[in-house]
Amino acid sequence: MLSTLTEKLRSIAHQSLAGTESDGPLVRRVREVANTVHDLLGKPLRPKEPEDDATGKDAPFVVTPTVREQAPVILYVDGKDQRTKTKVEELLSARDIKFRLLDVTNDEAERSWVITAAKREEFPIVVIAGTPVGGLHELVQLDVQGELKKRVFGV
């Protein structure tokens, strides 16, 4: 039953990609983009053809998981606590998390924003995807709980 439903959905999706001559220019352009993506994916929405059964092409369509791009990670420092900064860098590097180091010693606006957003005065402060996480202690807690990779990679 599931394969019948899947075939019907494929057929409907393929028909909508085919389009009609009466479509406006915007609809035609969107359809062109959709067709390009469809081609790049190996045409998974093609209609079932009679020779598919003989050639073995009727295998179920399998979506391979894509590697997710990591969220931006920024490490704000003020140049004072080098030891903690080094520990945070080591933790992020050990988890294969790329990060941007931003020294806010002479940038009062950025410094004020990160202190206000993180609700803490001590540096270094880690920000993941625009959300302040905190310092080394909070980062270690996220890592121990398994939340660090989830926040960074969405896994």
Q: What is the pLDDT of residues 112-145, one digit of tens each?
A: 999 999 999 899 999 999 999 999 999 999 999 9
Total count of domains within the chain: 2
Residue 102 neighbours by CB under 8 Å, 6+ apart: 74, 75, 76, 77, 110
Radius of gyration of the chain (CA): 25
| DSSP H or E stretch at residue 27 | helix 25-40
Q: Which residue range is the domain that position 92 belongs to?
A: 73-153
Is the pLDDT higher at 50 or at 134?
134
Read off the pLDDT band of 18 (50, 70, 90). low
The answer to whether the beta carbons of residues 107 and 58 sit under 8 Å apart is no
Mean pLDDT score, 15-35: 66
Q: Is the pLDDT of residue 34 over 80?
A: no
Kindly state whether residues 51 and 90 are assigned to the same domain.
no
Of 31, 11, 13, the residue nearest 21 (C-alpha):
31
Kindly state whether residues 34 and 79 are assigned to the same domain.
no
Res 83: pLDDT: 93
Tell me the pTM: 0.56
Q: Is residue 61 part of a domain?
A: no
Instruction: Locate 154 and state its tokens.
Output: 């969405």
Q: Is the pLDDT of residue 52 over 60?
A: no
